């Protein structure tokens, strides 16, 4: 019996590393995947980036998730019906969104990417994978590290 995996993604290098990992990993055919992108509430600085850019972001990220799904089906042979795509809004932070979505969805595992950060970057930006480990103590969390 396969696992239900929550795979939070964005358009970063660490997310690309997660996809490469999934493509190269031996997995059961009956695993289910939910590829999600969590939109956090935009800061005032991000709103200054332009309404057009912010309005186009959901469509761009949905296309990215659909392309990843197609790649998992074409290159790894996964059943397309076992791969769901979600765009999730309304959270103050990405980690809060992942934790809440995981708890509501009854998933077995989170597969998340993590880039190498300096201690100061980690202090300022936070470490989503560490937050998941602290807040989901009974969950299986696979952290895929990329350079």
pLDDT > 80? residue 10: yes
DSSP assignment letter at 81: G
Going by C-alpha positions, the residue among 101, 104, 123, 121 that lies closest to residue 112 is: 101
59 φ, ψ (degrees, to nearest 5): -65, -40
Residue 56 binned pLDDT confidence (cut-offs 50, 70, 90): confident
Q: For 90-132, what is each residue's pLDDT tens digit?
A: 888 888 999 999 999 989 999 988 766 555 545 444 578 888 8
Q: Which two tokens stand for residue 54?
A: 């912010």
pLDDT of residue 119: 57
Q: Which of 71, 67, 139, 65 is nearest to 103 (CA)?
A: 139
Say how many domains are in the chain: 1
Give the range of the structural domain holding residue 104, as residue numbers without chain letter: 4-146
Residue 90 region by backbone torsions, left for phi larger than 0, else alpha for psi between -120 and 50, else beta: left
Residue whose structure tokens are 């103050």: 92
Identify the CATH number of the domain in which residue 23 sits. Answer: 3.40.50.620
Whether residue 25 contacts residue 53, with contact meaning beta carbons closer than 8 Å, is answered with no
């Amino acid at each position: 019996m396969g696992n239900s995996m929550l795979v939070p993604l964005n358009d970063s290098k660490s997310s690309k590393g997660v996809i490469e990992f999934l493509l190269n990993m031996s997995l059961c055919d009956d695993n289910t995947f939910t590829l999600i992108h969590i939109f956090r509430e935009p800061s005032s600085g991000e709103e200054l980036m332009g309404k057009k850019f912010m309005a186009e972001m959901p469509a761009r990220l949905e296309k990215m998730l659909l392309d990843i799904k197609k790649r998992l089906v074409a290159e790894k042979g996964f059943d397309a019906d076992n791969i769901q795509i979600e765009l999730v809004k309304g959270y103050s932070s990405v980690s809060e969104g992942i934790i809440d979505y995981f708890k509501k969805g009854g998933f077995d595992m989170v597969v998340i990417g993590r880039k190498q950060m300096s201690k100061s970057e980690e202090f300022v930006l936070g470490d989503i994978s560490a937050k998941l480990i602290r807040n989901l103590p009974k969950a299986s969390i696979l952290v895929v590290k990329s350079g």
